[in-house]
Structure 1
Amino acid sequence: MIRQARWTLFIGGLVGLMAFADVHAAEKVTIPNSELHTITSRETGDAYQIQIRLPNSKPPESGFPVIYLLDSNAWFGMASDLVSTRSLNKDSTGITPAILVGIAYPTDAPYDLKRRTFDLTPPSENVTMPPRPNGKPWPPTGGADAFLRFIETQVKPLVDQRAPVDKSQETLMGHSFGGLFALHVMLTQPGSFDTYLAGSPSIWFNQKQVMEEAKAYLAAGNSVKARLYICVGGEEEDITAAEETHPQAEIRRQWKKDNRMIGNAQDFVALMSNQPELDIAFKVFEGEDHGTIIPQLMIHGLHFAFNQKAP
């Protein structure tokens, strides 16, 4: 009986080895037509990883449109899939092949929370921030202008070297602090990009500093010539079902209530709505929260960037 059992184990192991013989060694999965460049910022001395996905097609005479994506550590894969698949049938989507440029940090984590907080927030002599729900101190803020200079003087020239670029179709896409950065750039250096896609912009930052920037810009008689798409989730001013059971549920609820993600976005759109050269669109996606709004930003913002309006 024991011999039979050992023989059965031997045969089973032999069959298993034969099965594994058909399996090749594991290889890393890569995003087609994409490449990674490491650049050190002349502004700060910090290193960035620039992810570039080039279209697999002949460039048009005017060059390829370019989409610059912030927080690319977390979202480059999703954005790459959307840009590539939606441009397959450009006759129905209106989306043509485009270069996707992700600005990321040298980490395998989805976010570098300390560095993104600095890079994506506007500078100010005085910064007043609300207490964080986790009770920890805020990282340094105010690096947005230096970050923009890095994009303009180092990232864009790199992209220009990789493929022909249509300088009339450059889009900036950001979420949360990234959305705040997009609004700040549009108001302070509006010619940097042609289209700004801002998902759940953190307008609350530093007592609504970007709202004051907008008021000052308009009071000076300036006119924004750009296209702007803002979207927020309909559930952003209350906690999620999962947060209901969190020990700090009420602290989180008050945090979201005070930040007024929906209300502040509505106020910003109302303030800028009379700009004759600003093509602006705004959407509240019911049922979405601060995190789940990101896929909506990507697909609807992408359609807005290439068409007259978002679907």
Structure 2
Amino acid sequence: MKIIEKHKDTLLSGTEVWLVQPDNIDDILRVCITPNRTPPEGHRAGLIIGTDAELSAGTLISTLKSCAVGLDLPYVYGVSIGYPLDANPPFVIKRNRDLTTKWFAFEPVTAAMAGLPGVAPTGGADGFLEFLAEELKPSLAEAFPIDLAEATLAGQSFGGLFTLYALLTRPEVFRRYLAVSPSLWWDDRSLLEAATRIVSEHPAPTASVYLCAGELENKARFGRQFNGPMPEHIKSVVSKALGSVDMPGDMFMMEQILSGWSGDQFSVEAHVYPEESHESIMGAALSRGLRRLHGKL
């Protein structure tokens, strides 16, 4: 990983921003790094890595800092990963690439729904996870007093899908996993199928998993959101992929599958948040999920 630039953020207090070029991703990523409070001399802090900095970096940072005041969270560094603010194509296309497994049928959809030409590539989840594990985490521990054994991965929507993909494919990379409104509908619910096989074939990892979804993340609401004008070939894919979305139902199915991993070092729980939608849930999820995962709730 090449660090192209480091600077202090002028809006997010105490935040250092890195622009980095990963070894295995042909792009520039923007990494926002903020401690909730500075650990005492000789001590190292935990690490919380969140996806989609464009959507939730501010929420993550304010949650960590507020919870530190009341000792609701231990010493942690919050790290949000996104893309340069002037990125072209924009982050909505790039996250489509980095947080998913390959699904050719969906590649025209995100661009069309965003009113952009072309397609949004998919299938970069393995490369993005390798970047986190082999490049970013060691660089963070070298630059800051961070204990990599106390690392958490958090993500919402495609980020939640990626969080569970990381748990199932490389569970040793993180100690805690916060999957918010995971898009388990992706690729005909292929991750649910993969989870069933992986849990049956592999021993339980040392990990704590917290899943949550909003009460309003249901078929009726998604049907209204994605019923706008779009080309027929796009509409057919959207209808097939999202026409029966039931995020709470899929989430509980994943919880049931993961519960097949038994042992003192593994735990999983799932919750539905009343009156929260796919767009509103992140603040509550970070507060409740991180406190629960760190034994403070």
Q: Are 1:266 and 2:245 counterparts?
A: no
Establish whether residue 204 from structure 1 lines up as the match of residue 185 from structure 2: yes
The aligned residue for residue 186 of structure 1 is 167
Q: Name the structure 1 match of 2:275.
A: 287
* 1:231 counterpart SS class: strand
Q: Post-superposition shift, 1:77?
A: 1.2
Give the structure 2 partner of residue 103 of structure 1.
81
State the Cα deviation string for residues 101-143 of structure 1 (Å, max 9, x = none).
111101258x6111101100124xx655498498557511110
The alpha-carbon distance between structure 1 residues 133 and 121, as it changes in their structure 2 partners (threshold 3 A), is closer
Pick the aligned partner of 2:63 from 82, 94, 115: 82
- TM-aligned CA deviation for residue 162 of structure 1: 2.3
Residue 154 of structure 1: aligned partner: 135
Indicate the residue corresponding to 2:208 in structure 1.
227
59 and 146 in structure 1: CA distance in 2 versus 1, 3 angstrom threshold: farther
Among candidates 108, 114, 119, match of residue 93 of structure 2: 114
Q: Is the 8 A contact 1:127 1:206 kept in 2?
A: no
Are 1:307 and 2:295 matched, yes or no?
Answer: yes
Q: Distance in 2 between matches of 1:50 and 1:180?
A: 20
Is the Cα contact below 8 Å between 2:141 and 2:147 reproduced in 1? no
1:62 deviation in Å? 4.9
Cα deviation for residue 89 of structure 1 reads 1.7
The percentage of aligned residue pairs carrying the same residue is 25
Choose the corresponding residue for 2:146, options 149, 165, 182: 165
Task: Classify 1:246/1:223 alpha carbon distance in 2 versus 1 (closer, same or farther; 3 Å).
Answer: closer
Distance 1:230 1:207, change over 3 A: same
Secondary structure of 1:266's counterpart equals helix
How far 1:193 moved relative to its partner? 0.3
The answer on whether the counterparts of 2:178 and 2:211 sit within 8 Å (CA) in structure 1 is yes
Counterpart of 1:177 in structure 2 is: 158
- The code of the aligned residue for 2:61 comes to S
- Gaps spanning 5+ residues in structure 2: where? 1-8, 230-234
In structure 1, give the amino acid aligned to 2:250. N
Residue 64 in structure 1 maps to residue 50 in structure 2 = no
Q: Supply the distance in 1 between the matched residues of 2:255 and 2:167 (Cα, whole angstroms).
A: 13
Amino acid at match of 2:257: L
SS of aligned partner of 2:17: strand
Q: CA deviation at 1:158?
A: 2.2
Once residues 159 and 170 of structure 1 are traced to their aligned partners in structure 2, the CA distance between those partners, rounded to angstroms, is 11
Alignment check: 8 A CA contact 2:215 2:276 kept: yes
Q: Structure 1, residues 169-216: CA drift from partner, whole Å, max 9, x if none?
A: 100000000000010110000001000000010111111121122122
Query: Does the CA contact (< 8 Å) of 1:63 and 1:165 recur in 2?
Result: yes
TM-score (norm 2): 0.82
Deviation digits for residues 8-43 of structure 1 (CA, Å, limit 9, x no counterpart): xxxxxxxxxxxxxxxxxxxx9422221111110110
Alpha carbons of structure 1 residues 132 and 262: separation in structure 2 relative to 1, 3 Å: farther
1:145 aligns with 2:126: yes
Tell me by how many angstroms 1:259 deviates.
2.2
Q: 1:270 to 1:301 in 2, by over 3 A?
A: same
| Higher alpha-carbon Rg | 1
**2:53, 2:80 within 8 Å by CA — same for their partners in 1?**
yes
Change (3 A) 1:273 1:165: same
Which residue type is aligned with residue 113 of structure 1? Answer: V
Deviation at 1:234, TM superposition (A): 0.8
1:66-111 CA distance string (max 9 Å, x none)? 1001001221111111101101121xx2x112101111101258x6
Closer/same/farther in 2, CA of residues 113 and 144 from structure 1, 3 Å limit: same
Decide whether aligned partners of structure 1 residues 152 and 130 sit closer, same or farther in structure 2, where only a CA change above 3 A counts.
closer
Instruction: Tell me which amino acid in the other structure corresponds to 2:267.
Output: D
